[in-house]
Structure 1
Amino acid sequence: MFKLEKNYYIAETAFHHEGDVTFLKELVGHLLKLDIQAIKFHLLFDVDDYMVKGHSAIDVIRRISISEKNWEDIFEQVLEGGKDIVALTNDVSSLKYINSIQNERNIAAIELHSTGLNDLFLLQEACNFKKTVILGIGGSTFDEIQFAVDYLKNNGKSDILLMHGFQNYPTSYEDINFSRINLMREAFNLPIGYADHTDPLDDLNAIVSTFPLSYGVRVFEKHVTHVYGEKRIDAQAAVSIKKMEEIIALGNSLLKTIGESTLQFSIAELNYGNTGPMKKALVARHKINKGKHIRLEDLAYKRTEISSMIRQNDIFKIIDGVAKRDIEVDELITYDNVEYQFKSANFDQFFINKD
């Protein structure tokens, strides 16, 4: 599984290349310069296995699909650039190809698009992939997701990530439904990523793209283009290289603010909570003579310039204690100048009177 203790950014290329291998290589060259972890590609080899004959879009899909022989060079370019490869396979042929090269090309993950989430033939072949299987769950019902997850798990695949989000050219705020992230995580006990497809012209695009950090999401996917503004396939959700840099910087900064689910304090928190210099410490309200039993009216809370080992809520340990020596006004109350009076527990309830 992806190392989820830090953000994992996937730059999506989809069919933005429109079948132009040279264009795709240029795009990859720009993406390799970003602080991303992976580049995602859509593979489709057998169009007749993907669309019915006579479909109005079949000729376009056939024209923009890149052949197997061209993917070798593209994958080599990505690996030489030190990034992971995520392969979204739309048909069984392309998935079999990925499985055949998964070791030598170090494919980090495959993805089954939500359009084929319950394609049994894709699910069968996905079980032969050794690393992470991503399931696109946008627009999918609970039982559809359950079917895919159960099939994979029942056939030995437990390394699964659910990808929340879908493209609606572009996706509106009302259709994002971040609250569903927690529902899906609890229901399937699987990590969840977020694929954002909101309007790249939106001033809040970077914020919306990284907001799922607050839901525990660490895997983020974005369409990215180096020809921002040019009318091409999938341009409706593609951000510029500069905007992607902004999203990455924002996401990494926000991750620092989230921290970890622990009560262990950082150095800064310890300093801020330091009793005395920061938090008011227990001091003598007036001079307390040696041998006097400490009373509430003898104590005060004040900020001091030195630290105290006595916390504010330790006051009831001090009350009824005995001053070991004279304690001057405003002097810190400590166990050096007050004898702690241990209060013995009463165990009478455990003894039965037999008389």
Structure 2
Amino acid sequence: MPTLDQVLSGSQSERRPPYVVAEMACAHDGSVERALAITRTSSQADALQIQLFHAEELVVPKEVPTVRGFELAPESWKRVVQKARAADLDLWATVFDEEAVELALELEADVLKIHSTDLSNPFLLQSCAQTNLPLSLSVGGSTVSEIASAVRSLEDHGASNLVLTHGFQDLPTAPKDARLGFISTLDHLFPYPVGYQDHTDGGSDLAHTLPLAAIGLGAHVIEKHVTDDRSREGTDYISALGPEGFAQFVEKVNAVNGVFSGKRPDDFSEAEEEYRQSMKRRVVAGAEIPAGTTITEQRITLLRANDGIKANRLDVVLGRKSQRSLQPGEAITEDHLK
């Protein structure tokens, strides 16, 4: 499994193993015990992502009572983080206000995520950038100019390690709205790794296949909602995978590691090199070629062989003389030629 440093370093074109972030969001429904259960579900990921917010700083007054029900106290989050660390998970924290940034630092978060809600919030962008932590910038529902402005703001305030995360949350997000092609656009426009946050119906096969397609399009980070039990139909369950489904998902992500390699020319795998060695036609003696004989088209043929000069180098064979007698069917090598 990749490390966070591997995600943030290296060229964009370099194919690295996908990094899986298990997104808890508000699936805990305000229960620390449920949050701990979701953390157990997330143990096969590379990172656990939590959301830190204060209702009064996030929504209009009439919605505060409802949203406050999804808050967890700092001491509860410390229990969650302790369990995540015991499972060797990195900690990503989505922060919605400056007090949340302070809590994330207290929890020793490895990455701060800036929700698309705050992509144009200059105060939070500055606060996050000045932590010097790696940042995940959610760009769902944002124009290229809005994204570019946010990136400039983060850079101006000292941020250098960014991940641009594509995707938005509907209930659930329809496949036709996923716009996976935008991953390649982000990869082309910005010098930072790109991630994909999937919000497809967690009960559909596409909840597994769309993220795999995103990896093929260049996503280095895959963010997936998790819950303790889908049948409970709690908050954020619609796009989430339960324990068994998430384990299967991570297994599939790991299985496709390497499938999308090959962007660099002639970057063959060991298996493809072996195929190349045995399947390409080579120059072979079509009849006996006595020593000292000039080799012509009439004396050779092109056949599959494990050694010998490849057919695309026929010009280095024709017109030259043989060093020794060659038997019919014998592959011709450089050592056979004067």
Do they superpose with TM above 0.5? yes
The whole-number CA distance in structure 2 between the counterparts of 1:182 and 1:264 is 21
Q: 2:58 aligns with which of 43, 50, 60?
A: 50
Which SS does the other structure have where 1:200 is aligned? coil
Q: Which has the higher contact order (CA 8 A, sep 6+)?
A: 2
Taking structure 1 as reference, are residues 9 and 61 closer, same or farther at Cα in structure 2, changes over 3 Å only?
A: same
The whole-number CA distance in structure 2 between the counterparts of 1:142 and 1:184 is 9
Contact 1:12–1:221, Cα closer than 8 Å, also in 2: yes
Contact 1:84–1:106, Cα closer than 8 Å, also in 2: no
Matches for 1:41-190 after TM superposition, within 5 Å: 41-45=50-54, 47-53=55-61, 55=62, 57-99=63-105, 101=106, 105-190=107-192
Query: What residue is the counterpart of 1:353 in the other structure?
Result: none
Deviation at 1:329, TM superposition (A): 2.5
Contact 1:284–1:330, Cα closer than 8 Å, also in 2: yes
2:13 is the counterpart of 1:8? no
Which SS does the other structure have where 2:258 is aligned? helix
The whole-number CA distance in structure 2 between the counterparts of 1:219 and 1:255 is 12
The whole-number CA distance in structure 1 between the counterparts of 2:255 and 2:100 is 37
Tell me the number of residue pairs that the alignment of Structure 1 and Structure 2 aligns.
326
User: 1:252 is aligned with what amino acid?
Assistant: N
Deviation at 1:50, TM superposition (A): 1.7
Deviation at 1:324, TM superposition (A): 3.2
User: 1:299 is aligned with what amino acid?
Assistant: I
User: 2:52 is aligned with what amino acid?
Assistant: L
Deviation at 1:59, TM superposition (A): 1.1
The whole-number CA distance in structure 1 between the counterparts of 2:76 and 2:322 is 86
Bigger CA radius of gyration: 1
The whole-number CA distance in structure 2 between the counterparts of 1:115 and 1:94 is 15
Deviation at 1:319, TM superposition (A): 0.9
Percent same amino acid at aligned positions?
26
Q: Structure 1 stretches of 5 or more lacking a match?
A: 340-355
Which SS does the other structure have where 1:138 is aligned? coil
Taking structure 1 as reference, are residues 329 and 27 closer, same or farther at Cα in structure 2, changes over 3 Å only?
A: closer
User: 1:200 is aligned with what amino acid?
Assistant: G
Query: What residue is the counterpart of 2:332 in the other structure?
Result: 333
Query: What residue is the counterpart of 1:303 in the other structure?
Result: 304
User: 2:207 is aligned with what amino acid?
Assistant: N
Contact 1:2–1:8, Cα closer than 8 Å, also in 2: no
Q: 2:268 aligns with which of 256, 265, 269?
A: 265
Deviation at 1:196, TM superposition (A): 0.4
The whole-number CA distance in structure 1 between the counterparts of 2:334 and 2:42 is 63
1:265-312 residue CA offsets vs partner (Å, 9 max, x unmatched): 3332232222xx5433322222233333221111111235xx423222
Structure-2-length-normalised TM-score: 0.90
Deviation at 1:260, TM superposition (A): 5.0
Query: What residue is the counterpart of 2:13 in the other structure?
Result: none
Contact 1:86–1:107, Cα closer than 8 Å, also in 2: yes
Deviation at 1:321, TM superposition (A): 0.7
Query: What residue is the counterpart of 1:350 in the other structure?
Result: none
Higher helix share: 2
2:21 is the counterpart of 1:19? no
Structure-1-length-normalised TM-score: 0.86
Deviates more, 1:7-16 or 1:324-333: 324-333
Contact 2:17–2:258, Cα closer than 8 Å, also in 1: no
The whole-number CA distance in structure 1 between the counterparts of 2:333 and 2:29 is 76
User: 1:7 is aligned with what amino acid?
Assistant: P
Contact 1:111–1:134, Cα closer than 8 Å, also in 2: yes
RMSD over aligned Cα atoms: 1.9
